[in-house]
Structure 1
């Protein structure tokens, strides 16, 4: 039997990013080689899935991927096919400056039986995410998400590479899935790992293994706790970070967020370790690390890992001449009228702010709601600023959870011209997604 650790409160989950204090920002690395054109097919269709052990499989929308191995510097001809009986809009998280794929601005929901095509330059390596959720509130069933992996030109040392996609569902007494974005009452909550109720991941003693943890939940901020292991955080939201050890083996991940880690397998053959999910309620046993009964891979564990190769984001952000603006999240005031449901969004409507290309932007994000809010910036990654605006956390994000009543300040370099979306929604199953835009000219 594995003893479960105590539950983490919702406030503790949301404090996770701010607790990280690590080394200085990463330098810019060398230029990317000439692009290689590849084809990528994404297909949305219905399929069956087992969401609960012993229960009947349910019908649910899924995303599938047909593509060769992708590497930073490739140019990808993307084709998205919608075989569902409802419109579907593809959103890609993690690629800065991908204007051809910007939802509601360049791409529109694809009708049943239809398709869409665009070219996508892979400027960055990392763990990306494709999902269909932006315009799917109150759909018959929760829409899916799918990882997209873009390899580094020089892959980091690792003895294995595992994607861990975590999704959540609400299942009614009739065995049917309940839609997100509306009140579904006290229906049970279910979590899956890579489409299954649970998972086991094989390790070999004294190995180092890369895990790409993805929070593909509809709204929930979650924490994952991995007991009795060194868990090196290497990248957040597709961008490298200066390596640091996760405190207590816990990873806090906002909805849509991605965390790449290296886990040192320092226990003996035959060992088992739980990966436990915390969502502010009772801890959920999610998966296990299982050591194979084979000799260790090497005489001793590896030393502290070197940083992953940088993706070319700026090493410094000049805050002195930054454009500074405030955004209210979840505010029941007139400013809330500036946020739109995705199906009501008009690209011709005025942006929340406009900035000249090359200038730094500082956003003060104030959550005036009575519950946590999730903020997602399209087009650019951002730094989370220190409380006094005298520095920043040495990692990049594209998604941030903000607790009720809090203000967080972020900064980014407006490098990519065009109109880009901003998303915000409460970390609650029934709350709607809202969008605004900003313009880089």
Structure 2
């Protein structure tokens, strides 16, 4: 992770339809095959379909989830704010093969989300591919292109088949794809503004994405608007499940090609390029630097004096269970009254960096003296070995929500607990 910090894209299927103010969303767990490397057979995987799903803030999704997979499946949405009825394991039990589940999701916040069905997939038969979910605001920012770059990591055997996370990666080769392809190339006229939504869909690895020789302005992290800032050296670092929305302007003479690099902590790989097209410039000059994205009505201040404080050690199996062993009767990690701020003290006692993910509520990373917080919200945070981080959030939505942790090791198990808001 330290090395990454220093270094500092299939058609959509018609899965949604609108009626009477609600939007129907049909998702299906299904088997498919993808081509990940030339010269080898296609890789069998499980998926939720192809292409990103796009909705508007304020939509209410009437979700129908069916599974054709031969194993129990739990559907989750990373970045979803306060929808306990959609929570896997705490509210929605794993879906058996051939079964169907229905529930509603109110989309309270605009942003970049991730729909995933891999919660129970550690060490299973096949990897499970996630799907991007984009929720646009009522007053969207002016951009000329809005593109998703879903970064996936695969561990391939010699025969071209891929193993899921949670399995021993011995004798496998790491492969990375962007939107299921080996590279992502995009062309835009001079002075065009692009919104690139980077999603780290690797189940275990921290990744960095770098655009060379261009200003990369970070506008949102984990689906929530941030105070805009320039990424150091044009690179954004993403823990597994992190999302980062950036604005870039296509500048330079026609034919200018800007490399897109991916770094997994060991080496950098070229995964695409941004080319300035030979078309006439789209405007005489680039846009001025963008103001912050419209807010999602999160609290401007957190009164930490009134917060409940909870020590939550990571990297130790005590009180944490694998998702397949989770039972709703397990005692919660903590409970809070609705409207109360919560401070979690996260100490990583493992020998590897550990990724923490909080369902239901975005959080702030606190300064070391608890006298302020970083100017962005997160739902996922990677913590170095031996490091302690303090985070804070407003317990706004009553219900039961999961907490996840996993080490940045392909074979490491994902572990879960839950918390309650009353």
Give me the TM-score of the superposition, normalised by structure 1: 0.90
Task: Summarize the Cα distance change of 1:131–1:67 in structure 2 as closer, same or farther, 3 Å threshold.
Answer: closer
Counterpart in the other structure of 1:343: 324
CA contact (8 A) 1:36 1:73 kept: no
Give 1:207 deviation, angstroms: 0.9
* 1:177-231 Cα shifts (integer Å, max 9, x gaps): 1221021214100001101111211222111111110000011110011111111
* 1:311-357 Cα shifts (integer Å, max 9, x gaps): 111000001121111111113xxxx3200111111112111111111
Measured in 2, the distance between the counterparts of 1:69 and 1:191 equals 24
CA contact (8 A) 1:206 1:296 kept: yes
CA contact (8 A) 1:14 1:403 kept: no
Measured in 2, the distance between the counterparts of 1:69 and 1:423 equals 26
CA contact (8 A) 2:364 2:392 kept: yes
What secondary structure sits across from 2:194 in the alignment? strand
Aligned counterpart for 2:170 among listed residues 185, 201, 214: 185
1:431 and 2:416 aligned? no
What secondary structure sits across from 1:320 in the alignment? helix
Counterpart in the other structure of 2:373: 392
Give 1:440 deviation, angstroms: 0.9
Measured in 2, the distance between the counterparts of 1:42 and 1:77 equals 11
Give 1:14 deviation, angstroms: 5.9
1:279 and 2:264 aligned? yes
1:409 and 2:394 aligned? no
CA contact (8 A) 2:40 2:159 kept: no
1:172 and 2:163 aligned? no
Aligned counterpart for 2:344 among listed residues 363, 369, 392: 363
CA contact (8 A) 2:263 2:269 kept: yes
Counterpart in the other structure of 1:26: none
* 1:59-83 Cα shifts (integer Å, max 9, x gaps): 2112126998510011110111112
Unaligned ranges ≥5, structure 2: 9-19
What secondary structure sits across from 2:4 in the alignment? helix
Please say which of residues 376-385 and 60-69 is displaced more in the overlay: 60-69
* 1:212-268 Cα shifts (integer Å, max 9, x gaps): 100000111100111111111111001111111111100001101110111111122
* 1:122-152 Cα shifts (integer Å, max 9, x gaps): 0011111001111110111111110011111
1:247 and 2:255 aligned? no
Counterpart in the other structure of 2:219: 234
* 1:366-417 Cα shifts (integer Å, max 9, x gaps): 0011100000000100001111111000100000000111001100000011
What secondary structure sits across from 1:404 in the alignment? coil
Give me the TM-score of the superposition, normalised by structure 2: 0.94
Measured in 2, the distance between the counterparts of 1:339 and 1:15 equals 32
Give 1:12 deviation, angstroms: 3.2
Measured in 2, the distance between the counterparts of 1:68 and 1:386 equals 36
Counterpart in the other structure of 1:128: 113
Measured in 2, the distance between the counterparts of 1:68 and 1:185 equals 35
What secondary structure sits across from 1:343 in the alignment? helix
| Number of residue pairs matched by the alignment | 411
Counterpart in the other structure of 1:7: none
> Where has structure 1 moved over 4 Å in runs of 4 or more?
65-69
